[in-house]
Structure 1
Amino acid sequence: MDFNNNMTEETKTEETKSEYFTAAETVSEARFYDNEEEKRLRRRFISGILIGTMCTAFICAAVGIALHYVSFGNSNGLGIMNDETAAKINRLEALIDSCYYKTDVDKKKERDGLYKGLLDSLDDPYSVYYSEEDLTVFENETQGIYFGIGAYISMDTTINMPRISKVMPGTPAEEAGILADDIITEVNKESVQGLTTEEVVSRIKGEEGTTVHLTLERESAKETVEVDVYRKKIEVPTVEAKSLDDGIGYIQITEFDEVTYNQFVERLAELKADDLKGLIIDLRSNPGGNLKTACDIADQIIAKGSTIVYTVDRDGNRVDYTCKNESKLEIPIVVLVNGYSASASEILAGALKDYELAKLVGTKTFGKGIVQSVYNLNDGTAVKLTVSSYFTPNGNNIHGIGIEPDVEVEFDADAYTEDKTDNQLDKAVEVMKDLLDK
């Protein structure tokens, strides 16, 4: 199932992106999937506020999934592949084969194009066809694990070149001596001038154990650096935490991947060991991810038996996702959200708000209230279809609406650019102190 929502506004600048692009959203038999629009959510917040790049995704098990096939050769005009359609496709293929100016047409791409076109006809940006290559990338991304060098990459719009924005500790990138602010000019001796960040990232990522050759311009030393960096399995750091003043803990979740829950539990335990009195959860620009992860995290906070979210399909069938954990986090909570907090982020924020367990600070969330399931077609490909709507515990469907914060405050980009002042976080701390004083 997918909680993704389509962004209708494009930002003019490209924000920090990581070397990986992940997303996943899981529930018992369905996932919430990422699309290209969701991946752009992460790039829209001020570079440096949040670590990465709804993602939401949950691959349905191939066993037990009922696939809906179109009947080929149907001549009654009701099916897609009737005699007339088949004849027209054959005519188009013949024209391409005999008249198209190139002779090296990829037949597999032609077939994939047909399948993708069928899904495109639904006018639903969340219903898509995954080719074998697409599905492999997607499955890797939903795990929160990728094979790369362990560096964040952003596009320096002043020179239109990719730049290393951060190097993860203990990764091949660090071991190879790559530094933040290094400009990437070549990957494997091929220029990256004019490439998008995604294209550069795709050239750097690769099979575990292989190497990639990078040519870097190091402005600080006015020198060109060439390094061979081996690729390894990298676990995406999706949770960061720190202790603020007065017993206030801060946890930032950048997306909900399969690795996120354990990271959250570990960071929360560290904060509790530091005399935690109140918790700020930062979900700004979090595009979503694995629903199971979001529910597991909610299960650490909300009382056992409480509904976290429920879905309703076109036939009115309802599925509830409830808390099973005996524990409940009985301290004040403030949740930071913005217009790019989507999907699973809205699930967690909506549940905490409905149960009056948290105050939401920031701006209205993105508003994605529909669900997708991915069906394996048993030939290495898959299709993702929107199958239901989801509702917060109080019965709110926020699709196209979003969730209003309890305390609205716009982000002051100028202040952050000037001296890293985060006025939304400052307001969250202020709200938390008021809660602690009660």
Structure 2
Amino acid sequence: MKHRWLPLAAAVFAVAATLVSAGTATANYERPPACAEPNSPEPPQQTPATLTTVGQAYYCIFDNYFSGPVLDSRDLLVPAFAALTQELQRRGLDQPDATLPALTGRKDPDWRAFSKVYQRIANALPNDEARGAIAAAAIQAMVDELDDNHARWQNKSSQNLVGLTLSAIVGPGDIDPVATQPVYVDRIAVDGPAAVAGVALGDELLAINGVPLFINGVFTKGALSWLMDAPLGSVVELTMRRPTTGETFTASVTAARFQAPRPAVESRLVDGNIAYVTLPGFTPATADQVLAAVAALRAQTGLRGVILDLRGNGGGSPAAVAKLLGALAHGKTTSYWCDVRDRCTPNRTDDSVELWNLPFVALTDRRCASACDSFTSSVKDLKLGKLVGTRTAGAVSGPGAPYLLDNGTVLVLPKHHEIGANKEVVNTVGVAPDHHAPMTAADLAAGRDPGLDKAVSLF
């Protein structure tokens, strides 16, 4: 999607400035300026959220989220108000008149009632930092209430400053609800801070800053945030176990910026004449690279099959999904995008792509998400090949679009929800492999690949 940030941001900021300043000005309680798709690849500088930002997010959900036409305003404003009062309590700033106003379920009157009480609360706060905190809490609560893995408020940097990822992470970066011990390093940047500290692929993570990653079998989310959200320059102490030796050791990782390698399509022949191609993400360019790679390998030898490695593929472009499915079949409906009233539009294979006419296997894992979920569900439903690995992430509620808010943050909302080619729900469920072949810490540490071995055996 082409983003257009700067002219829109300037217009939004100009209008917003007339409505509310740091939070103590008299506010206009009518509808704030509308959110809109950004119009520049460079995001504007972020500023603290205000009442105007909260209102933009509220109306943006009604205008652009797939269930917006049938949403009850109370479903957004009640959790928003609860979240801001909880933020007040955490800060020791609760107020006697911080009470939810009577709401009716009507979008505009409820916003006016909510915003009047909100502004009175904000005016009584001691500083802009506290005012920004209650606004952020309210916005996040509205987004969380949607319970949608493609609805997100992008209000902070998601840069990984430690240079590793863990087996307990699923799809777009969430903690896997089925994560069990041991949690291990499944990807690591060669020159990243973790590698410099002596951490290697397959190392099992036992504790972070002395706090066990599992307590009574329950994942310790707070401890993980020390690692995955480590601020620049902070030091994180990791207690690790190396499965190849059984050694337990401590690694001190200093969060730092580093040059992460750009994921790329890679290809080679395996078992003599099977094309093996990796696909880190679905974009039109990478789809073309996969097609070109298979064609190049085919020119070297008579291929007897194609293995497409989708492990770690976080999704991307629906057009790229259609293109690669077009190499496997023509004239097929691959999925449906539906509105809140279940009026559905079919998605189809890109029949301009030349068919491979070869047996096909896709390798999957819990990070195969979004467009990757969509691709694999189509392969399974339409019987276009076999899936090997583990169940996919099930993070495929619908394609999300970005909307800029007045403080430079972005709300991502899906306009439609997606169902599979057989009209089944894939979102939250994922796609089960035909052959279960999970990667383990010991496999990674020893350089083994049970998924690839199983795929080759199917040919």
Scaled by the length of structure 1, the TM-score of the pair is: 0.56
Q: Gaps spanning 5+ residues in structure 1: where?
A: 1-25, 28-58, 139-145, 156-162, 183-191, 206-211, 215-226, 433-438
* Residue 271 of structure 2 corresponds to residue 245 of structure 1: yes
Which residue in the other structure is 1:128 paired with? 152
Code of the aligned partner of 1:431: L
Give secondary structure in 2 for the equivalent of 1:374.
strand
Greater gyration radius:
2
* Residue 143 of structure 2 corresponds to residue 116 of structure 1: no
Give secondary structure in 2 for the equivalent of 1:396.
coil
Q: Distance in 1 between matches of 2:405 and 2:416?
A: 23
Q: Distance in 1 between matches of 2:197 and 2:268?
A: 24
Q: Distance in 2 between matches of 1:199 and 1:387?
A: 34
Which residue in the other structure is 2:319 paired with? 292
Q: Distance in 1 between matches of 2:321 and 2:360?
A: 16
Q: Distance in 1 between matches of 2:445 and 2:142?
A: 49
Which residue in the other structure is 1:79 paired with? 107
**Larger helix proportion, structure 1 or 2?**
2
Q: Gaps spanning 5+ residues in structure 2: where?
A: 3-34, 40-58, 64-72, 78-100, 168-184, 201-208, 212-221, 236-253
Code of the aligned partner of 2:392: T
For this pair of structures, how many residues does the alignment match? 333
Q: Distance in 2 between matches of 1:201 and 1:290?
A: 26
Q: Distance in 1 between matches of 2:36 and 2:323?
A: 19
Q: Distance in 2 between matches of 1:429 and 1:105?
A: 57
Q: Distance in 2 between matches of 1:289 and 1:319?
A: 18
- 1:404 and 1:378, CA in 2 relative to 1: closer, same or farther beyond 3 A? closer
Residue deviations 1:143-191 (CA, integer Å, cap 9, x gap): xxx9999x66779xxxxxxx997556xxx98xxx979759xxxxxxxxx
* Residue 422 of structure 2 corresponds to residue 398 of structure 1: no
Asked if 2 retains the 8 angstrom alpha-carbon contact of 1:241 and 1:267, the reply is yes
- 1:264 and 1:129, CA in 2 relative to 1: closer, same or farther beyond 3 A? same
Residue deviations 1:20-72 (CA, integer Å, cap 9, x gap): xxxxxx79xxxxxxxxxxxxxxxxxxxxxxxxxxxxxxx99558xx95569x9
1:108 to partner: Cα distance: 3.9
| Pairs within 5 Å for 1:134-283 | 236-257=262-283, 260-275=286-301, 276-283=303-310
Give secondary structure in 1 for the equivalent of 2:129.
coil
Give secondary structure in 2 for the equivalent of 1:84.
helix
Q: Distance in 2 between matches of 1:261 and 1:366?
A: 21
Q: Distance in 1 between matches of 2:391 and 2:134?
A: 42
Q: Distance in 1 between matches of 2:409 and 2:400?
A: 14
1:283 to partner: Cα distance: 2.2
1:431 to partner: Cα distance: 0.7
Which residue in the other structure is 1:328 paired with? 355
Asked if 2 retains the 8 angstrom alpha-carbon contact of 1:309 and 1:322, the reply is no
RMSD between aligned residues: 5.3
Which residue in the other structure is 2:364 paired with? 337
1:295 to partner: Cα distance: 2.7
Residue deviations 1:289-333 (CA, integer Å, cap 9, x gap): 33333333323x134443333211113142424314241111111
Q: Which has the bigger relative contact order, CA under 8 A and spacing at least 6? A: 1
Scaled by the length of structure 2, the TM-score of the pair is: 0.54
Residue deviations 1:131-150 (CA, integer Å, cap 9, x gap): 4x5xxx58xxxxxxx9999x
Q: Distance in 1 between matches of 2:412 and 2:151?
A: 5
Code of the aligned partner of 1:331: L
1:125 to partner: Cα distance: 4.6
- 1:196 and 1:256, CA in 2 relative to 1: closer, same or farther beyond 3 A? farther
* Residue 448 of structure 2 corresponds to residue 421 of structure 1: yes
Code of the aligned partner of 1:398: V
Residue deviations 1:98-149 (CA, integer Å, cap 9, x gap): 5xxxx56254444333322222333445423334x5xxx58xxxxxxx9999
Asked if 1 retains the 8 angstrom alpha-carbon contact of 2:401 and 2:415, the reply is no
Code of the aligned partner of 2:280: T
* Residue 339 of structure 2 corresponds to residue 307 of structure 1: no
- 1:417 and 1:200, CA in 2 relative to 1: closer, same or farther beyond 3 A? closer
Asked if 1 retains the 8 angstrom alpha-carbon contact of 2:331 and 2:349, the reply is yes
* Residue 403 of structure 2 corresponds to residue 376 of structure 1: yes
- 1:268 and 1:196, CA in 2 relative to 1: closer, same or farther beyond 3 A? farther
